[in-house]
Amino acid sequence: QSALTQPASVSGSPGQSITISCTGTSSDVGAYYLVSWYQQYPGKTPKVIIYEVTQRPSEVSNRFSGSKSGNTATLTISGLQAEDEADYYCCSYAGGTSVLFGGGTKLTVL
Amino acid sequence: QLQLQQSGPGLVKPSQTLSLTCAISGDSVSSNNAAWNWIRQSPSRGLEWLGRTYYRSKWFRDYALSVNGRITINPDTSKNQFSLQLTSLTPEDTAVYYCVRGPLYYLGTTTYYFDYWGQGTLVTVAS
């Protein structure tokens, strides 16, 4: 199975909102409500920021939100801050013993 | 606070076997609501889930098709840790390897996400 498709990079100015898409198929993103998103700073370990498409861990800012439509999941970051500059990865269960990650999106805060 | 502490070699020769261990503190490898995963990350392959083990009255193991046949994940209840063995290594297996916890259930149904990560071990396959 192929990795999920994410844009290689997105950018935005402080205070703006940005979205990062994660496109899969009807066998993974479209089939299950099991999409998660991870934030990773250079040289650091990934951190979960969204799970089950829309759920946010208590310690994660409410500026982060997730959604899904068909085979595409979307991460939205509102009120962009400099500290949001990082790599973001989506992940989806794909049935059986298959878990897929996206290729990652580098977010630049201008 | 849950912590995962990885140990193992950083350099392995081609065709040999990689062995990594992940010591758990703040949770139990036998927990009924946790799966213990190995995930790797490389520039060429990105993040790749390798497999997991979990306990639900007995031990279960799930492996990714990409490494099935080469991978073994085992729990060690006496030391509260779990391990990864990956055989027949090639340079393509060069990556940062993470041990990772994932909940088994959310609101009573099966879930898949990863909430606690080990510090990562850079494994280089080279002669």
Residue ranges of chain B whose pLDDT lies below 70: none
Write the residue in B46, B63, B65 that is nearest to A101 by C-beta.
B46
Chain B CB contacts of A46 below 8 Å = 47, 98, 114, 117
pLDDT at A1 over 90: no
pLDDT at B78: 98
| Alpha-carbon distance B15 to nearest alpha carbon in chain A (angstroms) | 25
pLDDT score recorded for residue B109: 86
DSSP for A18-67, written as a single string:
EEEEEE--TTTTTT-S-EEEEEE-TTS--EEEEBTTTB--TTS-TTEEEE
For A52-104, how does the pLDDT look when each residue is reduced to its tens digit (9 = 90+)? 999 999 999 999 999 999 999 999 999 999 999 999 999 999 999 899 999 99
Condensed to tens digits (0 to 9), the pLDDT of residues A39-48 reads: 999 999 999 9
Picking from B47, B117, B120, the nearest residue to A101 by CB comes out as: B47
Q: Choose among A4, A2, A87: nearest CA to A38.
A: A87
CA B70 to each of CA A106, B15, B23: distance values in angstroms, whole numbers, following the listed order:
32, 11, 22
Q: Is the pLDDT reported for residue A2 higher than 80?
A: no
